[in-house]
Amino acid sequence: MTFVITTYVPEGIVQASDSRQFITAKGTGPDGKPLKVETINSDNVFKTALLKRAGDNGKPLFEVGVNTFGEDLLKKVPIASHLRKFAEEELADDDDVSTIPRKMVDYFRRDFPNADTGFHIAGYKKEERVSVPHVYYCHVRNNEITRTNTAPNGELTYGASWAGQPDIISSILNESLVMGPNNQPVPVPKPPILWDAMALQDAIDFSIYAVRTTIDTMRFQARQKNVGGPIDVLLITPDSANWIQRKTMRGE
């Protein structure tokens, strides 16, 4: 499992993720009976990626962020490796954040049509000389592509989308239920977050908070510790895409 979040506010888009890969290993025990072990395989998996391409003048043609969640090992290969292959084989100079979601879902469905794998895809697209943010939720098995940062009337909206292991942050931020009169559940709204007024640094802080709170809460709960490791954070603005923090390779 995993936890990823994409936070979109007027100044930019922030994508963050944990680094834990939790697997179920199946085999045969010494007694010949089937054996299933659920365990942490790695705390160094990359779940946030930056897809980009530059023109002959060195200026970026597109910079698109991707959060991955759900099933990570496809034919025993991590999703990060499949993403690199996808970018090399499928993306062209005229692609942008609005064309990549369909290409990505189709690419994975060719070889893994039943993969329980999803993506948050985010970036900016020039529309009548204005940089417009696009945020998409995609799922391979469901063949789903939904733009999440627009209202039904087409107006831009701001907020946050999270996926993977959502129960902890959802219980903190979303409306809850208590038993009311006549033993009927009554909704209890939570104080709102003013996404439209949120500064970019606060969006970064919120994204890290959401991942860190999930990791730290699970630490003390009697449950599988399937979210953990370093937190990667990618910032996308109309001008550029930059890593706020990203784990690096190291020696001893």
**Per residue in 218-230, pLDDT tens?**
999 999 999 999 9
The string of DSSP codes covering 141-195 is TTTEEEE-SB-TTS-B--EEEEEES-HHHHHHHS-EEEE-GGG-EEEEPPPPP-G
The residue type at 59:
K
Q: Say which DSSP state 196 is in.
A: G
The string of DSSP codes covering 48-105 is EEEEEEE-TTS-EEEEEEEEEEE--EETTEEHHHHHHHHHHHH--TT--TTTHHHHHH
The tokens of 127 are what?
A: 């529309």
**Per residue in 15-49, pLDDT tens?**
999 999 998 878 787 887 888 888 999 999 999 99
**Per residue in 109-157, pLDDT tens?**
999 999 999 999 999 999 999 999 999 999 999 999 999 999 999 999 9
**Per residue in 136-149, pLDDT tens?**
999 999 999 999 99
Domains delineated in the chain: 3-22+40-168+195-245 (3.60.20.10)
Q: Quick check: helix, strand or coil at residue 19?
A: coil
The residue type at 132:
V
